[in-house]
Copies of this chain bind each other. A is one copy, B any other.
Amino acid sequence: MGNTFGTLFRITTWGESHGGGVGVVVDGCPPLIQLSESDIQPDLDRRRPGQSSITTPRNEADKVTILSGVFEGKTLGTPISMMVPNTDARPEAYSEMAQKFRPSHADYTYFSKFGFRNWQGGGRSSARETIGRVAAGAIAKKILKERFGVEVLAYVQQVKNIEAEVDREKLELRDVEANIVRCPDSKSAKKMIRLIEAMRRKGDSVGGVIEGIARGVPPGWGAPVFDRLEADLGKAMLSLPASKGFEVGSGFAGARLTGLEHNDAFRMRGGRVRTVTNRSGGIQGGISNGETVYFRVAFKPVATVMREQETVDVRFRNTTLKGRGRHDPCVLPRAVPMVEAMSALVLVDHALRQRAQNEWPERKR
């Protein structure tokens, strides 16, 4: 339990970092959507290890296979099963981990929860699990674009103390992909890359912030009171490995403003109801208002560092542990497609829910 996400567009992921592979089943995908592996692979390539000098050198092609749900190049409306085999796993690199809990990792908590754990790499807690999410998210993004005209993007907005300035209304995917850190502000990007490289040399790691954006969301998506759009986006983001915070629109900074400073005035523009400012982040009362949806996700620094740290072993004795193996000094560049995927999954789910309940020919405004 806990490995399924979504109400109408529902994904179930499976797989450990070491074992046969990882995958996902997508249930609820509409039929008659053109789909092949070539729609999925690009996002997996953006997520895969070994893609650049600032990611882990673990080198896996992460080649996806669609096993069901597609016929003659189109979705059938039946479950889409996708799988990526594990190819470059080196369990021997983790032998010390069989005996010790890595600090700020999930080793101890998985052991506590289940009484047992796969000590070969993070097992189920490995970021490798997100492959299924990214594969499913690629389908969600395609549906959002083709059926609803919605574009989902994300980029690295902050690494440690380096913050980028980006115009979220003009951002394009090619700007994000213009450099290996996935920060469209090229000046900040350079600083970020230098910082990450320096951290790697020191055996240390860094965290940062990713901003997610959805443009073209029509008014009406989101289902109060519990399934508010920001609540579902927040859950989606906080379910990503290493995420520690989520804010929508003005977020924590908005808590420092007064109502008069914060409110988004309504004005008619282009025949539509628009807001003059967008501190609401495109969501009011848990429902999209037609403005650009945006939010920020905080990621902690990677827990694996190449330095000795105090910890405890599986027999509950104090000990020390020094990180080994191949790890990212900063997860953010690879987390960008994860943020996109999760936000696309939330949005397409609410799009379908809105169609089911509220979009009737009888309805007149």
A129 interface residue, CB < 8 Å from B? Answer: yes
A181 to B: closest C-beta gap in Å: 15
Contact (Cβ within 8 A) B252 A209:
yes
Given contacts A67-B14, A258-B205, whether A358 and B115 have CB atoms under 8 Å apart is: yes
A274-298 at interface with B (beta carbon < 8 Å):
275-276, 279-281, 283-290, 296, 298
Question: What are 30 pairs between A and B in contact, CB < 8 Å?
Answer: A2-B224, A2-B225, A4-B12, A8-B8, A12-B25, A13-B225, A14-B69, A14-B80, A16-B71, A16-B78, A19-B71, A25-B25, A32-B114, A71-B117, A76-B116, A104-B264, A109-B286, A113-B220, A115-B365, A129-B225, A160-B255, A231-B236, A231-B238, A238-B248, A244-B252, A245-B252, A260-B307, A265-B309, A266-B310, A267-B310
* Complex partner residue of A30 from B220, B311, B357, CB under 8 angstroms: B357
* Complex partner residue of A247 from B116, B244, B264, B355, CB under 8 angstroms: B244
A102-121 at interface with B (beta carbon < 8 Å):
103-106, 108-110, 112-118, 120
Contact (Cβ within 8 A) B108 A15:
no
What are the interface flags for A198-209 relative to B under an 8 Å C-beta threshold, 1 for contact and 0 otherwise?
A: 010000111111
Further pairs besides A14-B69, A258-B301: 9, Cβ < 8 Å: A1-B8, A14-B25, A23-B67, A30-B357, A124-B225, A226-B235, A245-B252, A255-B299, A257-B301
Contact (Cβ within 8 A) A263 B227:
no
- Distance in angstroms between the alpha carbons of A147 and B361 in the assembled complex: 10
Given contacts A234-B235, A358-B77, A360-B147, whether A31 and B298 have CB atoms under 8 Å apart is: no
Contacts of A362 in B (CB 8 A): 32, 147
What are the interface flags for A145-163 relative to B under an 8 Å C-beta threshold, 1 for contact and 0 otherwise?
A: 0010000000000101100
- Distance in angstroms between the alpha carbons of A106 and B310 in the assembled complex: 50
A256 interface residue, CB < 8 Å from B? Answer: yes
- Distance in angstroms between the alpha carbons of A193 and B220 in the assembled complex: 37
A24-72 at interface with B (beta carbon < 8 Å):
25, 27-28, 30-32, 65-69, 71
Contacts of A117 in B (CB 8 A): 71, 76
A325 interface residue, CB < 8 Å from B? Answer: no
- Distance in angstroms between the alpha carbons of A103 and B276 in the assembled complex: 10
